[in-house]
Structure 1
Amino acid sequence: MADVFINGRFLTQPISGVQRYAQEIVTALDGLAGEGALPARYVLLTPPGARRLDLAQIETRVVGTRAGHLWDQLDFARVARAGTALCLAMTGPIALKRQVVVIHDASVQRHPEHFSKPYVLAHTLLDRLLARRAVIATVSEFSRAELADVLPVAERDIVVAPNGAEHLSIAPDAQVVERLGLTKGGYFLTLGNLTRNKNLAVALRALGRLAPGSAKLVAVGRMERSVFGSAGLPEPGPDVLLPGRLDDAEVAGLMQGARALIFPSIYEGFGIPPLEAFVNDCPVLASTAPAVREVCGPAADYFEPHDDATLATLMQMLLDDHDGAIRRDRLAKGRERVARYSWRGSARILADACAKFGA
């Protein structure tokens, strides 16, 4: 079988859900290669200046001189045309026919108001061109139906390779709770950068409905206080903590000490944080976004994305769970949900999709 060339441009980008997916899939492929379980040689191609992954079997090769989309379309495409391309982070070169491209969701088409007009135009065109030439993969059954609806591709032809959460099954930073001036069980947690889709506003409004001082809200992610007004968010009060971006061990430590993770997204293709919470025995209060319900099933408690009153009621329910009965029930269901997903399993699915191109 011809070589498989992995598009490594994600290693030049800040890590969010898409980049996490790409990184963990490549790491899982590296593990499969070490077991002799891949039918082809895999090579990770990156632009100059990209971060490096610690890979034992997959060769990393820096190619070209360009950056951004030009690197995809010219430098990566020039090398990858010798085999099969695997593009894990929403985009790929339109000139290649032998490629698998993971498009995580249809957010550009469904919620164009969350993006600039040039971005919407560019990605709408790019997605349609890729759908005509590449094998499209995505991360959930919900996203498969969404993409089939907005792109010229049959739903049955879209490969589903979900996210996993093993990356956060790690030794937690046991000191992070104390270091941030928190007490175990005395706070709720949100994860995500400050964007309209992540919908932090509903969590802030819900916190404001609770008795002052009854709980804190820790909002982890890339955000600045100066952005709150322009993003339409209420000004954070004394019970809101903004620690910025934290490493995986710190996030795991915060999850293990939290009363619950609040996941209020308006739209998701999958949503990794609830799975990460389940791995770390953290209950989840989640929006009713369809992909989130698909992933969490009965393990989460749900609220409509803009319904801060219901979210506040759910937060109070967990604060009043003095004997821990509700928590134990949710954690047992969470462990069952997370067992359904793995990076290794999804890497295998994508490797099989690449193998169908043959020699």
Structure 2
Amino acid sequence: MPHIYVNGRFLGRPVTGVERFAHMVLDRIHDRQPQDGRAPGITILAPPGIDAPAKWPRFAFRTVGSGGGHRWEQLSLPGAARDGILLGLCNANPVRSRRALTVIHDAAVYDFGQGFARSYRLLHRTLGRLLARRSHIATVSRFSQARLAAVLGVKGERIAVIPNAADHIRAITPDETVLERHGLTPGKFLLIVGSFAPNKNLPRAIRAFRAIARPDDRLVLVGAAVRSFADNAMGAVPEGVILPGRIGDEALMTLYAHARALVFPSLYEGFGIPPLEAMQFGTPVVASTIAPVREVCADAALYCDPEDEAALGAAMRQMLDDDDVHARLSAAARARALAFDWDDSATRLLDTLAAIG
């Protein structure tokens, strides 16, 4: 296999879903380096100001060019990777690099443009079309494969599918103190992990909870600040809604493990990582009926129309009250979580790179 250069711009950003994908697949490839004959030589190329990650000593690391952001990516990066394959794991890569693979995680900038600033939307729509035309792209779900093929005008089979996974969370030591800090009883609260981005559908989910909530019911909302309620014309934080603020993975894992269910009411996703994380703990999901969420959750969720507030509330109430449904979905969640594995995703990525040659 040719030498692989990794677009290291993502190392200068906080770790969210897209960056997590990059870290996890590179972790697994790094672990194979001594013994896996298919594993290529890898060099991470980064803009100034980013240090070599200590956790990847078997990868080479090089600072190239000047500046940062898109300008660095388009002007400084192509020349540094000209003798190998350039791998972009977080939605972007130089359009001049024809021997390249870019993982575009979803088609949201085309399908759900109202969730993005106009400048961001125009930039990434143009970038995606150029990358699809000039080099190689991959994505994380069959749904996103189909949507990207349609909006970018390429055949679906040209877009490799390299799924997300969540088995990394098994190595995280939970922080149980988050329960006491917020007065939460294990198995007695619902959990939402998401922001007030339009596709996350949080105002409707919160109204649905308020309509069905009893005095002891709690909805824990991770990822939204108090001011977000005012910004979304919801006023003060409703009774029974708990905001833990910014929390680490250790606290989040505790909430996943002890929630009665995760509520995932999205209007649009490219994959759906929180349900997969929750299912690692056998926590069932009240889920939107959209295709990518069904692809991830399969039979491990209680589905409802994300635009039907009454149906969403009824599903929450059923999950809180019906022990038989909860037990069935909990067992299905544990089984479904086994279908996604970062080692498998790393293998798919290496196979895709090998096919570029």
Fold equivalence (TM over 0.5): yes
**Which residue does the alignment assign to 1:162?**
163
Secondary structure of 1:228's counterpart equals helix
Amino acid at match of 1:7: N
Amino acid at match of 1:31: D
Q: Which whole-Å CA distance do the structure 2 matches of 1:239 and 1:256 have between them? A: 20
Please give the root-mean-square deviation of Cα atoms over the aligned residues, in Å: 1.7
Secondary structure of 1:159's counterpart equals strand
User: 1:219-258 residue pairs with structure 2 within 5 A?
Assistant: 219-221=221-223, 223-233=224-234, 235-258=236-259
Q: Which whole-Å CA distance do the structure 2 matches of 1:194 and 1:156 have between them? A: 34
| Ranges in structure 1 where 5+ consecutive residues have no aligned partner | none
Q: Which whole-Å CA distance do the structure 2 matches of 1:198 and 1:274 have between them? A: 13
Q: Which whole-Å CA distance do the structure 2 matches of 1:232 and 1:199 have between them? A: 14
Q: Which whole-Å CA distance do the structure 2 matches of 1:302 and 1:8 have between them? A: 38
Q: Which whole-Å CA distance do the structure 1 matches of 2:150 and 2:236 have between them? A: 39
Using the TM superposition, give the Cα deviation of residue 234 of structure 1 relative to its aligned residue in structure 2, in angstroms.
5.5
Using the TM superposition, give the Cα deviation of residue 53 of structure 1 relative to its aligned residue in structure 2, in angstroms.
5.7
Distance 1:22 1:15, change over 3 A: same
Counterpart contact for 1:286–1:300, Cα < 8 Å: yes
Amino acid at match of 1:154: K
- Deviations along 1:129-155, whole A, 9 cap, x unmatched? 000112110011111100000002111
Using the TM superposition, give the Cα deviation of residue 212 of structure 1 relative to its aligned residue in structure 2, in angstroms.
4.0
Using the TM superposition, give the Cα deviation of residue 44 of structure 1 relative to its aligned residue in structure 2, in angstroms.
1.8
Distance 1:290 1:29, change over 3 A: same
Counterpart contact for 2:203–2:232, Cα < 8 Å: no
**Which residue does the alignment assign to 1:355?**
354
Counterpart contact for 1:271–1:292, Cα < 8 Å: yes
Q: Which whole-Å CA distance do the structure 2 matches of 1:66 and 1:83 have between them? A: 23
Range with bigger deviation, 44-53 or 274-283: 44-53
Distance 1:37 1:276, change over 3 A: farther
Counterpart contact for 2:32–2:39, Cα < 8 Å: no
**Which residue does the alignment assign to 2:22?**
22
Using the TM superposition, give the Cα deviation of residue 191 of structure 1 relative to its aligned residue in structure 2, in angstroms.
0.9
Q: Which whole-Å CA distance do the structure 1 matches of 2:288 and 2:145 have between them? A: 20
User: 1:103-252 residue pairs with structure 2 within 5 A?
Assistant: 103-170=104-171, 171-221=173-223, 223-233=224-234, 235-252=236-253
Counterpart contact for 1:201–1:234, Cα < 8 Å: no
User: 1:94-105 residue pairs with structure 2 within 5 A?
Assistant: 94-105=95-106
User: 1:259-270 residue pairs with structure 2 within 5 A?
Assistant: 259-270=260-271
Q: Which whole-Å CA distance do the structure 1 matches of 2:73 and 2:232 have between them? A: 32
- Deviations along 1:108-149, whole A, 9 cap, x unmatched? 111111112111111111111000112110011111100000
Distance 1:233 1:33, change over 3 A: farther
Q: Which whole-Å CA distance do the structure 1 matches of 2:65 and 2:57 have between them? A: 23
**Which residue does the alignment assign to 2:345?**
346
Distance 1:342 1:53, change over 3 A: farther
Counterpart contact for 2:319–2:326, Cα < 8 Å: yes
Count of aligned pairs between the two proteins: 355
Using the TM superposition, give the Cα deviation of residue 205 of structure 1 relative to its aligned residue in structure 2, in angstroms.
0.7
**Which residue does the alignment assign to 1:326?**
325
Counterpart contact for 2:301–2:329, Cα < 8 Å: yes
Secondary structure of 2:356's counterpart equals coil
Distance 1:45 1:334, change over 3 A: same
Amino acid at match of 2:12: T
- Deviations along 1:206-258, whole A, 9 cap, x unmatched? 1111244231111111x332232333446421311222232222111111111
- Deviations along 1:176-200, whole A, 9 cap, x unmatched? 2112221112211111233111111
Amino acid at match of 1:117: R
Using the TM superposition, give the Cα deviation of residue 2 of structure 1 relative to its aligned residue in structure 2, in angstroms.
2.4
Distance 1:179 1:161, change over 3 A: same
Using the TM superposition, give the Cα deviation of residue 37 of structure 1 relative to its aligned residue in structure 2, in angstroms.
4.2
Range with bigger deviation, 149-158 or 56-65: 56-65
Secondary structure of 1:261's counterpart equals strand
**Which residue does the alignment assign to 2:62?**
61
Using the TM superposition, give the Cα deviation of residue 304 of structure 1 relative to its aligned residue in structure 2, in angstroms.
1.3
**Which residue does the alignment assign to 1:40?**
40
Scaled by the length of structure 1, what TM-score is found?
A: 0.94
Scaled by the length of structure 2, what TM-score is found?
A: 0.94
Counterpart contact for 2:5–2:86, Cα < 8 Å: yes
Counterpart contact for 2:256–2:262, Cα < 8 Å: yes
Counterpart contact for 1:287–1:305, Cα < 8 Å: yes
Counterpart contact for 1:32–1:38, Cα < 8 Å: no
Amino acid at match of 1:3: H
Secondary structure of 1:244's counterpart equals coil
Secondary structure of 1:190's counterpart equals strand
Secondary structure of 1:356's counterpart equals helix
Counterpart contact for 1:255–1:281, Cα < 8 Å: no
| Ranges in structure 2 where 5+ consecutive residues have no aligned partner | none
Using the TM superposition, give the Cα deviation of residue 302 of structure 1 relative to its aligned residue in structure 2, in angstroms.
1.0
Range with bigger deviation, 35-44 or 115-124: 35-44
Counterpart contact for 1:275–1:338, Cα < 8 Å: yes
